[in-house]
Amino acid sequence: MSPSRPRHDRAHSGETPESLATVLIALGANLLVAIAKSIAAVLTGAASMVAEAAHSWADAGNEVFLYIAARRSVRPADPQHPLGYGRNAYVWSMFAAFGLFAVGAVVSVMHGVNELLAPEPAERFVISYTVLALAFVLEGVSFLQALRQSRRQARHAERDLLDHVMRTSDPTLRAVFFEDAAALIGLVIAFVGILLHQITGSAVPDALGSILVGVLLAVVAITLIRQNTRYLVGASVDPAVRAAALRRLTAHPDVDGVTYLHIEYVGPGRVFLLAAVDLRGDAAEHDIAARLNAIEDELARSPRVAWAVLTLSRPGAPVLDADHPAQPMRG
């Protein structure tokens, strides 16, 4: 009995165009902000502004990686890649997370430490405040786009907003959401550091602001690295999705019961499904093969299913309950 063949002429789920738009908006905003912050850093000498410039350049570079991730992950399946290219999204998003850590976090912390050891005077504070305000507006526009997309998907998945952002199979959305949120928090930290520098005349608050921005970026980068790693090594779907798939299988007129079900993400919004089923009746072998293939083809029509494989259940294997879809242990 051959498994259902993937449809090589089909790209994956319709969530990607919106994610691509989110990435492009973030890229445009970060490029403008990075240029403005760099000019302000040169003119003012503020340590927090240098950290913010490094942060924005890191974010801009990361958006390029995320753009590549979004484009390459939607390539349709082919004979060499029967499950498609969806995991490309996690590979390139991993590069972006490493870039955020290396360029954003490390540079910011190092510059803050250097400023503590060898303070330099800062001036032209009005320039810093103007650029920070402009950056807040641009970063806010980008964050609102990611927030709108996240809220819409969270409602559809019946999850809390942050829970959905952490658990979504779309790494580009998660990266833009957390990077933009970190950028807005970082701008507030930079503003406080520069303001205290102006009030006290001491470079210490400014330097500490740079270090705090670096620590914030490191936390975000590590979070993104961990989530991308989870999906690269193979992440199973949520219990609610698994239960829905089990109900769909058991509701099929040819299926008497399901004894084994494995559903794994192979890209943003795309899954590989493997199940062992009991068929109704006692048909001949060639008829059984045809019926299994027909069910596989029916499952594969969903834009979220990259490939479906069904096999017959072992004799006496316990049937799964859609209301309590715990996976039985298999030897």
Pairing of strands 270-279, 305-312: parallel
**179 and 43 fall within a common domain:** yes
On whether both 198 and 70 belong to a single domain, the answer is yes
Residue 331 lies in a domain: no
Whether residues 191 and 258 fall in one domain: no
CATH of the domain at 290: 3.30.70.1350
- 323 inside domain: no
177 plus 263 within the same structural domain: no
The rounded distance, in Å, linking the Cα atoms of 150 and 156 is 10
Strand-pairing partners, residue 310, are: 275
| pLDDT tens for the 331 residues of the chain, in order | 444 444 444 444 444 566 778 888 888 888 888 898 888 888 887 777 787 788 788 888 888 888 888 788 878 777 788 787 888 889 988 998 888 888 788 888 888 898 888 877 767 788 888 888 988 998 898 899 889 989 998 998 888 999 999 988 999 889 989 988 998 998 999 899 889 988 888 888 888 988 998 899 999 999 999 999 999 888 888 888 888 889 888 888 888 888 899 998 988 888 889 999 888 877 665 678 888 888 888 888 887 888 888 888 877 778 887 666 555 434 3
* 1 inside domain: no
Domain that holds residue 215: 15-232
Q: How far apart are CA 24 and CA 209, in angstroms?
A: 29
- Asked if residue 2 is part of any domain, the answer here is no
C-alpha to C-alpha distance for 245 and 256, rounded to whole angstroms:
15
pLDDT of residue 197: 85
Question: Both 42 and 96 in a single domain?
Answer: yes
2 touches 310 (CB < 8 A): no
Report yes or no on 210 lying in a domain: yes
Q: CATH no. for residue 143? A: 1.20.1510.10
Same domain, 155 and 221: yes
Q: What is the pLDDT of residue 61?
A: 84
Helix (H) or strand (E) holding 245: helix 239-250
Q: Are residues 253 and 307 in the same domain?
A: yes
- The count of domains in the chain is 2
C-alpha distance from residue 264 to each of 188, 189, 275, 303 (Å): 40, 40, 12, 15
Instruction: Provide the pLDDT for residue 9.
Output: 42
Same domain, 211 and 85: yes
Residue 117: what pLDDT?
86
Cβ atoms 37, 183 nearer than 8 A: no
pTM of the model: 0.78
Domain presence at residue 321: no
